[in-house]
Structure 1
Amino acid sequence: MYCRYFVLICVWLFLPAQRKCTLGHKSDTHSSDTVSLPGFENLTEGYNKYLRPYFGGKPVQIALSLDVASISSISESDMDYTATIYLRQRWTDPRLVFHGNKSFTLDARLVELLWVPDTYIVESKRSFLHDVTVGNRLIRLFSNGTVLYALRITTTVACNMDLSKYPMDTQRCKLQLESWGYDGNDIVFTWFRGNDSVHGLEKLRLSQYTVERYYTLVTRSQQETGNYPRLILHFELRRNILYFILETYVPSTLLVVLSWVSFWITLDSVPARTCIGVTTVLSMTTLMIGSRTSLSKTNCFIKAIDVYLGICFSFIFGALLEYAIAHYSSSQKHAAKEPQKGPTKETEDVNITNILNSSITSYKQKISLASTEISSDNVDYCDLTMKTHDKIRFVLRNKMHSIISYFTIQNPSNVDHYSKLLFPLFFMLVNVFYWAYYLYF
């Protein structure tokens, strides 16, 4: 019954409206007005849509081509992309051969009466077939039995992304097509024209990405249920960095430069230098938090933008720390100079007394040492041992004092002088290494 309805619908679709024909019977009009498609009336005789072409024999050759209409979104947090594609499949079914050189486009609803491949999209999270105003499908028959089956599909496909160089990264994604139930003994997938089977990617205009290149592959997927044919479309997406330069890199660099302004302000201007340091630190913290908001689910990655923001934050915090060190050294130096400016009389008496006592003590030590040398038989070796320990302790104390004095800032004003040169120099060197590594390695 389905076969009869199929033939009747096909005949009514492709014959002129003013003409009528019957399947296997004469029409009510004159025989000269009867129009028929030679051989087409027996097109579905003995046809079984549940059996593939060449059933029990050689595999079916299915050639695929596709157009990428759009890539609507690329999500770094979910690691996927959403694309709308026009998928076209071609195969030859000898049961559908008819006479003539024409091709016929059938109503898409008649595809339910034909055998079609069970192609699916590998790693697809969500997919749907467009159905406005009717299901966006096309079925076309050629006289040699070739069938063209086209679909309009929107799919969300997983794409494993490496965000270590974000936002200077290039992501490599795939679109994989595979047979669900038929293995390599039943179906052979091929690209219709190789790399030319894919169109539309070179014309795409994406907000954050540019399509660098794409290529096609033919491979097989080994699974527990069999060896299945698979077609793969590889394409590379390079992120446009201009937005991030204007949004993040330039503001963070300007904040670092702003923190250097404090080097030209005197150490006595505590409110001014403290205000600049604290303000730049807080602004940099806000910028770092804002840059991570859009990628809140990818915090496990140490991205290139995180490294740069960390470098800028370190320089800004270093400028604030530099003022703290310089100001502390300056206050200590002033505190050391104040007692020498106006010593009291009592202090002078104490100093003189200490000098006299130290002189007397040293004189007594010399006398005792001389007496020890004269009467060498009465030497107390325990006293000599104690004096050796005291000597070692004295040497260590002197070494510690020399090390502390080495790191002691003699002139705190030189700290700002050196910082004016060292901070910009080191920042430029770090930028050279940063951009060279992430752009060329």
Structure 2
Amino acid sequence: MPSTSVTLVFLNGWENSFSVKFLCQLLKCTLGHKSDTHSSDTLSLPGFENLTEGYNKYLRPYFGGKPVQIALSLDVASISSISESDMDYTATIYLRQRWTDPRLVFHGNKSFTLDARLVELLWVPDTYIVESKRSFLHDVTVGNRLIRLFSNGTVLYALRITTTVACNMDLSKYPMDTQMCKLQLESWGYDGNDIVFTWFRGNDSVHGLEKLRLSQYTVERYYTLVTRSQQETGNYPRLILHFELRRNILYFILETYVPSTLLVILSWVSFWITLDSVPARTCIGVTTVLSMTTLMIGSRTSLPKTNCFIKAIDVYLGICFSFIFGALLEYAIAHYSSSQKHAGPTKETEDVHITNILNSSITSYKQKISLASTEISSDNVNYCDLTMKTHDKIRFVLRNKMHSIISYFTIQNPSNVDHYSKLLFPLFFMLVNVFYWAYYLYF
């Protein structure tokens, strides 16, 4: 005799008592078999009557007794975006939870997948994602949920979730940074006396991270932890997935580091141009300074304006800007020294002027002495003891001080400035680069 097929039509608005009985009948029709063609009980499942006796979806398994153990595993399908501005990441995961409910034990060695809408008739854990900003369950074409029953009472409950989770980032080494983000799962209402969370297979409970291909990051490593969260309302179990993201620096080298280095080298071209070529050297200096300023502004567009971090890329751009500005300043000093050497007053002229002041002071002194009928011989005058007028003396002292200071800083040969700059600027830039890359890559 051919087997009988049963077609079930689900209606909305079932009462809870009727729903449990209907679930029982559904499983009986699905799992039952015809033992005898002449038997009046053609569909039966020995032991399945446990579903109808005392099952309450509002009470956890082992209610009033030992805590129920929830074993979790997850697959990371994708990490669609990692935002430094908002300090978060968006991921799509497949979350699977397993627990044993003795009220759902039935005879046999099979497992049966039920319609996802029957989840409303069973007790399920109240797991939530800690530090989640936005989350939703996928519902195309129906809700992406799975419920599967095993003969020993084990329940498998799987969900497809997209969530945006906060991730505190340290951007001080950006773009050579490595970020450690977390995905934390915790029970919302049941504390450690009611629920115990565990990873299903330890680190092997997480899959998909090793296969991810992200635009700016590479997943270096990941590991799982089991801990507890102490709250005011109790001590709650928590599972943590740590994963380390290392930023790919190649893009930033081609986009920022190489152009800024070439601008610094371009600013050194002015050292090979003569001091008299004012338009040429000024044009190179101003152009490189403006180009460097534009590059610095463009590098900050992808980061928050209120970010308080001094990033590694900011340090490098600041170094490059300093060298470019230094090259422009070097020409200003060399050109000023050259113009002062050709147009400034000579030292001999100033010495003659000072001598005239001394002679006038000596003449005035002799006249005063002659009025007092004192015989003074000009050959016996000690010039060091003569008293000058107050303003002349001050002028004399200030001129001596200014001469000594100017002579100390005066560049005797302005052309040597360019000669030394050709060697010192590249040397110092190479040394700074060695210290920069060594610090940010290895410390």
TM superposition score normalised by structure 1: 0.83
Cα offset, 1:147, TM superposition:
0.7
Cα distance change of structure 1 residues 332 and 383 upon mapping to structure 2, 3 Å threshold: closer
Q: Any unmatched runs of 5+ in structure 1?
A: 1-12, 335-341
Deviates more, 1:350-359 or 1:243-252: 350-359
* 1:291-350 CA-partner distances (Å, limit 9, x unpaired): 11111345322111011111111111111111111111111111xxxxxxx999999999
Q: Say how many residue pairs are matched.
A: 422
Tell me the percent identity. Answer: 97
Cα offset, 1:363, TM superposition:
10
Deviates more, 1:377-386 or 1:245-254: 377-386
Structure 2 counterpart SS, 1:67? strand
Cα distance change of structure 1 residues 201 and 372 upon mapping to structure 2, 3 Å threshold: farther
Rounded Cα–Cα distance in structure 2 between residues aligned with 1:17 and 1:98: 14
Structure 1 counterpart SS, 2:119? helix
Cα distance change of structure 1 residues 21 and 153 upon mapping to structure 2, 3 Å threshold: closer
Rounded Cα–Cα distance in structure 2 between residues aligned with 1:38 and 1:24: 9
Structure 2 counterpart SS, 1:177? strand
2:274 matched residue in structure 1:
266
Rounded Cα–Cα distance in structure 2 between residues aligned with 1:48 and 1:359: 119
Structure 1 counterpart SS, 2:30? coil
Cα offset, 1:272, TM superposition:
0.7
2:72 matched residue in structure 1:
64
1:218 aligns with 2:226: yes
Cα distance change of structure 1 residues 387 and 18 upon mapping to structure 2, 3 Å threshold: closer
Cα offset, 1:37, TM superposition:
2.8
Cα distance change of structure 1 residues 80 and 406 upon mapping to structure 2, 3 Å threshold: same
Paired residues of 2:28 and 2:45 also in contact (CA < 8 A): no
Cα distance change of structure 1 residues 369 and 107 upon mapping to structure 2, 3 Å threshold: farther
Paired residues of 2:73 and 2:97 also in contact (CA < 8 A): yes
Deviates more, 1:382-391 or 1:416-425: 382-391
Cα distance change of structure 1 residues 25 and 18 upon mapping to structure 2, 3 Å threshold: closer
Deviates more, 1:249-258 or 1:33-42: 33-42
* 1:188-218 CA-partner distances (Å, limit 9, x unpaired): 1111111111111111110100111111111
Paired residues of 2:256 and 2:295 also in contact (CA < 8 A): yes
TM superposition score normalised by structure 2: 0.83
Rounded Cα–Cα distance in structure 1 between residues aligned with 2:116 and 2:70: 19
Cα offset, 1:411, TM superposition:
1.2
Q: Which runs of 4+ in 1 moved over 3 A?
A: 13-30, 296-299, 342-400
* 1:41-64 CA-partner distances (Å, limit 9, x unpaired): 542332100000010111111111
Q: Any unmatched runs of 5+ in structure 2?
A: 1-20
Deviates more, 1:95-104 or 1:297-306: 297-306
Cα distance change of structure 1 residues 179 and 426 upon mapping to structure 2, 3 Å threshold: same
Paired residues of 1:209 and 1:238 also in contact (CA < 8 A): yes
Rounded Cα–Cα distance in structure 2 between residues aligned with 1:22 and 1:215: 41
Cα offset, 1:79, TM superposition:
0.3
Cα distance change of structure 1 residues 92 and 352 upon mapping to structure 2, 3 Å threshold: closer
Paired residues of 2:270 and 2:284 also in contact (CA < 8 A): yes
Cα offset, 1:104, TM superposition:
1.0
Cα offset, 1:375, TM superposition:
14
**Richer in helix (by share):** 1
1:76 matched residue in structure 2:
84
* 1:57-85 CA-partner distances (Å, limit 9, x unpaired): 11111111111111000000000000000
What are the residue-to-residue correspondences of 1:5-404 with 2, within 5 Å? 30-31=38-39, 34-334=42-342, 354=356, 357=359, 361=363, 398-404=400-406
Paired residues of 2:33 and 2:42 also in contact (CA < 8 A): no
Deviates more, 1:286-295 or 1:20-29: 20-29
Cα distance change of structure 1 residues 372 and 178 upon mapping to structure 2, 3 Å threshold: farther
Paired residues of 2:34 and 2:43 also in contact (CA < 8 A): no
Deviates more, 1:142-151 or 1:352-361: 352-361
